[in-house]
Structure 1
Amino acid sequence: MMKKKWKVLTIALFIIAIICGIIFSIENSKAKQDSKRFANITVTLFFHGFESSSHAEKQTVNSLKKRGATNTVIKANVSRTGHVLLTGKLPSKVKNPVVEVNFENNREADYSIDGKWTKNVVVALQKKYGMQKMNMVGHSMENMDIMYYLLANADNKKLPRLCKQVDIAGHFNGILGYSRINNAPINATGKPMKMDQAYRNLLPLRNKYPNKQVKVLNIYGNIGNGTDGRVSNNSSKSLKYLLNGRELSYQEYEIKGVSHSKLHESRRVDDLLDEFLYEE
């Protein structure tokens, strides 16, 4: 009787092992397929601002989905220690995938740390989906995260190639009410007469920014006083000097009557993004 039970148990375990092996093989095959899904597609990463979340990106992302510009949205959650968790389903035919990046620590003011976390997101997408080309869209402080990411990694050929960069309400040379220097006049090249320390730290980019590779769109709001209420237009426009003519193309757009936090809710901004990212 015992021999019969052991025989049945052995057969059952053998069948379970076979089933588990089949499931593992299917999952492993799917993982390998996923790791190549973004290989020949340009992925667009959206970064939210200070004290914000990926919820702030939904207006623009939903607009792009409604227009048919994308059919794929992936979530990238960055923990307080910089660990990245990717979630989302991939359709059989991926079109212009979008990544909504969410930082759990949305008050980190050390741009070097923010830049490292940005790299963690890029590497996670590269490992899981085989991402080789990307666009980056930042609002407010996250523009600095993108720039500090580039400061540390612009010459790293192992990382995905940056194709387009969109800066919305960027405070490259100081923030009103926070920085001592926040509205320094700029010349025709975008060079500020006075420079905030965080801006000075980015000056090496003038010789490191990817040469003739990245198309740049710089958007800022003006509520009628040369600021968007939080960032001066001079601070936003000082991006141009950091690029030093190394960008493939550069466009500036002033959105009149729209404040800092409302820029990512602006239909005009949605139109500009759609045209710049997908219609060129």
Structure 2
Amino acid sequence: MKKKHIITITSIGLIILGFAALLYMPNKANSDYDKVRPTLFVHGYKGTINSFGNMLNRFEYDYHWGNKAIVYYVKQNGVVQKYNLSKGKKEPVFIQVVFEDNRASFEVTASWLAKVLEDMKQVYSIESVNIVGHSMGGIVSLEYLKQFQGVNFPTVRKFIAIGSPFDGIYSEEYFKINRDPAAADLHPDSPALQYLRERPFPDHIEVLSIASTGDAIAVPESVHSLRNIVPEAQLQEKVIHNDQLSHSGLHESRKVDHLIYKFLWQDHIQ
């Protein structure tokens, strides 16, 4: 009887331990992504998967900084599709966001970005992220930061805007060619840009803004207007003095690659 009693107690103990292990064991998706904070890459006006495609290939295959793990594709009706590339278990994770309607307004595109981040929180239990946005992708990301912070979304720790014209695009010729909701929002003093300036910026986010003297779309003066939105203590600014480095050339520049690396991962990646 005594031996049977010991076996019973042991069995109960094993059951309790097993149950505890189940409680504290992260699911596969969470264990894949919780090693290093994921970074989202958000393209700009009329952008595609190719906008950040070469940069992410360099990050993964040239520099070995991490893995492109998921592509989120948001359809024109707002439905979110995703392609899990099953990478990123031990290194920084890159997540690319692509909008089928790449000419939608700031407000609409930011709401689509919110759907992506909400999915990341609900499905993968991701608690915090970084965001990198090129051109209008930086503006849309800022709109997201001002509008959608909360328990349903991961906390954003670091934000990088690359060639983002926060004061609008100054060229009148640009708007003779481009006539759509996004173009209307990109016009200087548009209601969308005014609204972007009015609300406070979250005080826990570090920001890097990158500009080029060769950028004829997001000229440095417009890029620097981010100073009127983000407090000085939270903002770093880098201007690349290269008259040959164009607006679209920013995401093809190895100089930009290394500015991103230094800001996001230098303390982590050896």
Q: TM-score, normalised by structure 2?
A: 0.77
Aligned with 2:65 (options 52, 66, 69) = 69
Q: What does residue 210 of structure 1 align with?
A: 202
Distance in structure 1 (CA, Å) of the matches to 2:65 and 2:35: 17
Q: What does residue 163 of structure 1 align with?
A: 157
Give me the identity figure in percent.
Answer: 26
Q: What does residue 12 of structure 2 align with?
A: none
Distance in structure 1 (CA, Å) of the matches to 2:28 and 2:191: 45
Q: What does residue 201 of structure 1 align with?
A: 195
Kindly indicate whether the alpha-carbon contact (under 8 Å) linking 1:47 and 1:54 is maintained by their aligned counterparts in 2.
no
Aligned with 2:236 (options 230, 250, 255) = 250
SS in 2 for 1:259: coil
Whichever residue aligns with residue 92 of structure 2, its letter is: N
Q: Does 1:238 align with 2:233?
A: no
SS in 1 for 2:139: helix
Deviation at 1:133, TM superposition (A): 1.0
Q: What does residue 96 of structure 1 align with?
A: 92
Q: Can you list the C-alpha shifts for 1:204-262, whole angstroms capped at 9, x where unaligned?
A: 33x2x221x22211111112xxxx11122111110111013362x42333342211111
Structure 1 residues 216, 95: closer, same or farther in 2, change over 3 A?
same
Q: Can you list the C-alpha shifts for 1:24-56, whole angstroms capped at 9, x where unaligned?
A: xxxxxxx94214532453110001111120211
Deviation at 1:195, TM superposition (A): 4.3
Distance in structure 1 (CA, Å) of the matches to 2:190 and 2:101: 24
Q: CA RMSD in A?
A: 2.3
Aligned with 1:60 (options 19, 32, 55) = 55
Whichever residue aligns with residue 268 of structure 1, its letter is: K
Distance in structure 1 (CA, Å) of the matches to 2:202 and 2:88: 33
Structure 1 residues 131, 254: closer, same or farther in 2, change over 3 A?
same
SS in 1 for 2:32: coil
Distance in structure 1 (CA, Å) of the matches to 2:68 and 2:256: 21
Distance in structure 2 (CA, Å) of the matches to 1:84 and 1:77: 6
Q: Does 1:220 align with 2:211?
A: yes
Q: What does residue 40 of structure 2 align with?
A: 45
Distance in structure 2 (CA, Å) of the matches to 1:101 and 1:44: 10
Distance in structure 1 (CA, Å) of the matches to 2:124 and 2:70: 11
Kindly indicate whether the alpha-carbon contact (under 8 Å) linking 1:164 and 1:277 is maintained by their aligned counterparts in 2.
yes
Kindly indicate whether the alpha-carbon contact (under 8 Å) linking 2:32 and 2:89 is maintained by their aligned counterparts in 1.
no
Q: Can you list the C-alpha shifts for 1:150-192, whole angstroms capped at 9, x where unaligned?
A: 12123x244211111110110111112357xxxxxxxxxxxxx
Whichever residue aligns with residue 224 of structure 2, its letter is: K
Deviation at 1:92, TM superposition (A): 7.6
Q: Can you list the C-alpha shifts for 1:48-69, whole angstroms capped at 9, x where unaligned?
A: 1111202110121111112121
Q: TM-score, normalised by structure 1?
A: 0.75
Distance in structure 1 (CA, Å) of the matches to 2:248 and 2:68: 26
Kindly indicate whether the alpha-carbon contact (under 8 Å) linking 2:208 and 2:238 is maintained by their aligned counterparts in 1.
yes
Whichever residue aligns with residue 202 of structure 2, its letter is: P
Distance in structure 1 (CA, Å) of the matches to 2:240 and 2:87: 36
Counterpart mapping for 1:54-203 below 5 A: 54-65=49-60, 66-91=62-87, 93-108=89-104, 110-154=105-149, 156-175=150-169, 176-177=171-172, 178=174, 195-203=189-197
Q: What does residue 182 of structure 1 align with?
A: none
Whichever residue aligns with residue 216 of structure 2, its letter is: G
Q: Which runs of 5+ in 1 are unaligned?
A: 1-30, 180-193
